[in-house]
Amino acid sequence: MSETMKRRDFLSKTLAGTALAVSAAAIPTQAARDTEPKAEFRNKQDGMAYRRLGRTGYMVSEVVMGGNTISPTNFKHVEFAIERGLNYLDTSPAYGKGRSEKGYGEVVGRSSMREKVFLNSKVSVFDNSRNEFYQKLYDSLDDGEKKKVDGEIHEMLERRRILKTPYFGPYFKGQINEVLKSYLSNVMEKHYGEKIDRRKVYYDHIISSAEESLKRLKTDYLDLFMCPHGANSPEEVRIPEVYEAMDKLKRDGKIRFVGLSAHADSAGILSAAIETGMYDAAMVGYNVMNGDFVDSAICSAWEHDVGVIAMKVARAVYPNRKPKVKVPKSRLDKLNHAIPGRMSTPKKAYLWALQNPNIACVNSDMSSEELVRDNLPLAGQKVKLVPPEDIKKIKYLDGEHEYY
């Protein structure tokens, strides 16, 4: 049997096992899931609220630690957070070119600390290896072939409308370029997929990325491993070699469960991940800006027991990096209508997301002990959101697009 046929057979068997629609009566409540035998607690402490991360069974703190600012010289506040009940650490090789993983390694490298937390990392080389190959191949095409590819990219983006704010973001400089690179790869793979060394670009990259992350983190396994990291299109979650590599890592005991992350097109990518049946959890952009677009997919994830971690929760209304993205006043108006009163914008943003019972937690890039003190107490807090029908009609103005 050819490698192509093997991959197709693997994918068809995988999709055949995908869960079908679940009736409302069959869907357990949050309380039922949190108390079932499969629920796995770590570092459970009074004063912290925990929710189940889908079929992993992990009972994760409602506020978890993002890894963008972690490094070998900035990790003491992580220990401070763990002392207060936080039990989930998120990182990636891309954060500080491995410095984030090394920083966490200073924390979890001690056996007494490793079993207090659920540890997640990602495959950051995945997009680059794929996109770089197809960009070079595209550059070698004649003008006629390039025009055809460009037309297909344009048609897909227009049909899906993912670049239309407020659904898209953006959350960081260069995000639009990342999406365009992904869609170029999607179209190129459709027409020239036989030219890529799939084992090298996909399977081998994933295996080596996991092994390198384990070394930097000073651990022999990951509780969750995400690929793609920062998916930009549904096509990226339907690559058979990803499933094969993840299956190999699970059989070798190097990872326990499989996830992905996505900044752009959260709803489309999350829905595609659910359909594959391969993903146990997903970390997606979810906030007051795009919530109306993403809520349905998050509800579907809950029905299929795929855990959802909300990220970019505060970034949509409070960009904290340079150069800062100007936040349209309409977003702040929407948040302040939903949660009136005197409270910082980031806190309101996290509280807004945590009122959705279908997510497990919010990811916060807490870079200091001060931010840990500010954000961790948000776990378990309940606020009454002002219903949308009670909010005066707001015109959402983002650039040249208007939303009502």
User: What's the mean pLDDT in 285-308?
Assistant: 95
Q: Where are the domains of the chain?
A: 3-124+209-403
Supply the pLDDT for residue 52. Answer: 97
Q: Pick the residue with more confidence: 131 or 15?
A: 131
Q: Kindly state the average pLDDT of the residues 286-314.
A: 96
pLDDT average, residue stretch 234-247: 95
| Closest residue by Cα to residue 251 from 292, 210, 215 | 210
Between 4 and 111, residue with greater pLDDT = 111
For tokens 């146990």, the residue is 280
What does the alpha-carbon distance between residue 231 and residue 271 come to, in Å, rounded to a whole number? 13
Supply the pLDDT for residue 26.
54
Section 163-188 average pLDDT: 86
Residue 243: φ, ψ to 5°: -65, -40
What fold does the segment set 3-124+209-403 form as a domain?
TIM Barrel (3.20.20)
Pairing status of strand 396-398 against strand 401-403: antiparallel
Alpha carbon distances (Å) from 400 to 249, 328, 397: 46, 12, 7
Query: What percent of the chain has pLDDT above 70?
Result: 84
Place of tokens 């590819």: 149
What pLDDT is attached to residue 171?
81
- Of 113-117, 305-309, 389-393, the range with the lowest mean pLDDT is 389-393
Residues with Cβ within 8 Å of residue 360, at least 6 apart in sequence: 51, 52, 53, 54, 60, 62, 281, 307, 308, 309
Confidence of residue 19 (pLDDT cuts 50, 70, 90): very low
Look up tokens 């997929």; give the residue. Answer: 193
pLDDT at 22 over 50: no
The confidence score (pLDDT) of residue 392 equals: 46
The pLDDT, as a whole number, for residue 179 is 92
pLDDT tens digits, one per residue of 39-84: 999 999 999 999 999 999 999 999 999 999 999 999 999 999 999 9
In the predicted model, what is the mean pLDDT of residues 105-130?
Answer: 89
For the chain, give the mean pLDDT: 87
Higher-pLDDT residue of 8, 283: 283
Whether the pLDDT of residue 262 is over 70: the answer is yes
Q: Which residues contact 388 (CB under 8 A, 6 or more apart)?
A: none
281 vs 30, which has greater pLDDT? 281
Compute the distance between CA of residue 48 and CA of residue 352 in angstroms, rounded to an integer.
Answer: 18
Q: What is the structure's pLDDT at 319?
A: 77
Please check the confidence at residue 147 and state whether its pLDDT lies above 50: yes
Pairing of strands 401-403, 58-61: unpaired
Q: Residue 21 has what pLDDT?
A: 35
The mean pLDDT value for 228-246 works out to 94
pLDDT score of 264: 87
Instruction: Answer yes or no: is pLDDT of 321 > 90.
Output: no
- pLDDT greater than 90 at residue 338: yes
Mean pLDDT, to the nearest integer, of 373-388?
Answer: 91
